[in-house]
Structure 1
Amino acid sequence: MLFAILCTDKPGALQLRLDTRPEHVAHLNRLNEEDKLAFAGPFLDADGKPNGSLVVVKADSIEAARALAEADPYAKAGLFATVDVKPWNWVFNNPEA
């Protein structure tokens, strides 16, 4: 199953995001190597600066998807004000369909 992890950064946390980015990217690379990552990328504010994340993962359950979200270095660093994990169905332009 696919799960969308929707994260909103805390206000004023851009520097924390930048400082933690190498560990976050390494985490996503590990998920990709384990075939658990569908895709990921940041949300952007009006100035084009990142202010949140969208990560879509493959997991057997919502609990497993939540565990992946909690393991993200951004989450461990306290970057996010909110994290929402939702089951997701990739209907259009799915390369695996």
Structure 2
Amino acid sequence: MAKFVMWGSYCENALEMRGPYREAHLKGLSDQKEKGVLTALGPTVDNTKVFGTYEADSEEAVRQLVEGDPYWQNGIWTEYSVYEWNQVF
């Protein structure tokens, strides 16, 4: 399986805006983690960016996960990029 990184941005006031979607967001991430596709995900300390690492068959598979997340669907994540990653260490 290939490895990918995802960098994204949060909307302004993300901590306040995410409330109605947080439970579904965390459930989805837990499911992805259990399946082994999501290896890590979290915000930067200033809550302006999100970073995630994935092991998936394709970039498209990662994009489907991101775009299926309640944070993306409800504008909490405002943009993102996915890159195939060559993990050296």
Alignment TM class, shorter chain as reference: 0.7 to 0.9
CA RMSD of aligned residues (A): 1.5
Larger Rg: 1
Deviations 1:26-62 (A, max 9, x none): 11100011111111111121xxxx2221111111111
Q: Quick check: 10-19 or 60-69, which moved more?
A: 10-19
TM-score, with structure 2 as normaliser: 0.85
Deviations 1:3-31 (A, max 9, x none): 11111012233312244222211111000
Task: Summarize the alignment of residues 67-82 of structure 1 with structure 2, pairs less than 5 Å apart.
Answer: 67-82=64-79
Q: Give the helix-richer structure, 1 or 2.
A: 2
TM-score, with structure 1 as normaliser: 0.79
Structure 1 residues 23 and 52 mapped into 2: Cα distance closer, same or farther (>3 Å)?
Answer: farther
Q: Is the 8 A contact 1:41 1:55 kept in 2?
A: yes
Identical-residue share of aligned pairs (%): 33
Partner of 1:3: 4
Q: Name the SS for the 2:44 alignment partner.
A: strand
Task: Summarize the alignment of residues 29-40 of structure 1 with structure 2, pairs less than 5 Å apart.
Answer: 29-40=30-41
Gaps of 5+ in 2: none
Partner of 2:80: 83
Q: Counterpart of 2:62 in structure 1: which amino acid?
A: A
